[in-house]
Structure 1
């Protein structure tokens, strides 16, 4: 389903309602990460924006802020400080909130950072519910990013995450 900017259709409102319920349910789950997967980047961003608006929150476009701050570090410092930098950005953006809504995660797959993107998201979810748009695919209980053989390829079991799959 592709979302229109305005007005929302009955089907779009139903999808949004289901997504908001999953976010609410995540508050009682250990790990508390909700991943929005599937469709186009635009569709995921639109749904995140609508959901965050209903929750009274903003969406953090992670790639922009992370890249801006990482550029201040040397190439050698980036992998050593990537996880701390990520945590600081999210803590600053969502200070006092029990939910963080994050989009544009692609930067986390940059091999030079030596981060495991899914693990990084799960670590962020230790202190609050993290709602994020997964930029890859989901199927058979697995989250994937980039095709096999690509330097940024990853393939993880989705255990410990609540998945909202847009088909």
Structure 2
């Protein structure tokens, strides 16, 4: 599976949006796979939750919402290995107080570089195609997004 992911990472370089999401149920090995890729290519995995919470904690509450996108770009620039950014633990991006769209933010990062991120939610098949979901429908952080602009990498248990 690691070699298949590495091949996919190499294949997306010429695309306009270079975002690969590792998608699978909890405990299927998404974090282990992205860590294995990092080790294989000599890169590191950005623990986005830790880094962005550290940066946001320095800002007044009113500024956090306005600066989250800018902070994410700065963190990405600092942690990217060349034109590749490996990202895990993105759950904080779903916090409703930030009022951002996590998937759109990742897509914007993927215009400048290849991005491989662990998707913390699920996917579902429907009449409109495959959808990415995060949290239950009744939960305030619930998201239901299209796969448009994303290269999915499914992991089975």
Check whether TM > 0.5.
yes
Among residues 64, 70, 86, which one is paired with 1:84 in the alignment? 70
Among residues 82, 92, 106, which one is paired with 1:97 in the alignment? 82
Cα deviation for residue 56 of structure 1 reads 1.4
Aligned to 2:33: 47
Counterparts of 1:1-167 in structure 2, within 5 Å, are: 15-40=1-26, 43-94=29-80, 97-140=82-125, 141-167=130-156
Deviations 1:14-51 (A, max 9, x none): x1111111111111221000000113257111000001
CA distance in 1, matches of 2:27, 2:98: 23
- Does the CA-based 8 Å contact 2:24-2:30 persist in structure 1? yes
- Does the CA-based 8 Å contact 1:41-1:135 persist in structure 2? no
Residues matched between the structures, number? 152
CA distance in 2, matches of 1:17, 1:42: 17
Unaligned runs of 5+ in 2: none
CA distance in 2, matches of 1:128, 1:103: 16
Q: What is the RMSD of the two structures over their aligned residues, measured on CA atoms?
A: 1.2
Cα deviation for residue 139 of structure 1 reads 2.5
CA distance in 2, matches of 1:147, 1:16: 30
**What's the TM-score once normalised by structure 2's chain length?**
0.93
**What's the TM-score once normalised by structure 1's chain length?**
0.87
